[in-house]
Amino acid sequence: SRGKEKGAIIRQARKAGVEILGPDINLSQAEARLFEGRIYLGLKDIMGITPAFLDQLLALKRPVTSFPAFLRQLDTKELKEKQLVPLIEAGLFDQVSPNRASLLVNCGN
C-alpha cells in the first residue's frame, strides 16, 4: 500500500540522517518535499482534509504569520472546526503558533 511504502521511505531517510519534519504552514506542499536538507510532510499526509479544503490550503498567500492570519484567508462558509483540528494536531501551525492546546480550544470560536 501507499502508506507502507511511504513509511519505508521515511525510515530509510531517517537512517541516512535526513530530518523528517511534520507539515509546516509555510513550507509544506501537497506532497512531502525536501527543503534545506529536511523533508517536510505534505498536506495530503494530514488525515481528514477534503480535496476542496486542500485546494484552499495550497492557494494561501505565504508567509502565514499567525493562526488568525491563516483563518482570514479561508472561505469561512466552507470552514468547519473538524477541518481545523487535524491541521492543529499535525503541527501545521507550530512555527507560527506553537501552543496547540490553545489553538484547539479557540478553533471553534
Number of helices (H), then strands (E), belonging to the chain: the values are 5, 3
Place of cell 476542496: 52
Place of cell 483563518: 71
pLDDT for res 109: 60
- Calpha distance 19→14 (Å, rounded): 6
- Calpha distance 58→49 (Å, rounded): 12
Q: What is the mean pLDDT of the chain?
A: 91
pLDDT for res 106: 85
Number of neighbours of residue 79 by Cβ within 10 angstroms? 14
Query: Whole-structure pTM over 0.75, yes or no?
Result: yes
Share of residues in the chain with pLDDT > 70 (%): 96
Grouping H, G, I as helix, E, B as strand and the rest as coil, residue 8 is helix
Which whole number is the average pLDDT over 18-42? 94
Question: What would the pLDDT profile of 67-109 be if each residue is shown by its tens digit?
Answer: 999 999 998 776 788 889 999 999 999 999 999 999 999 886 6
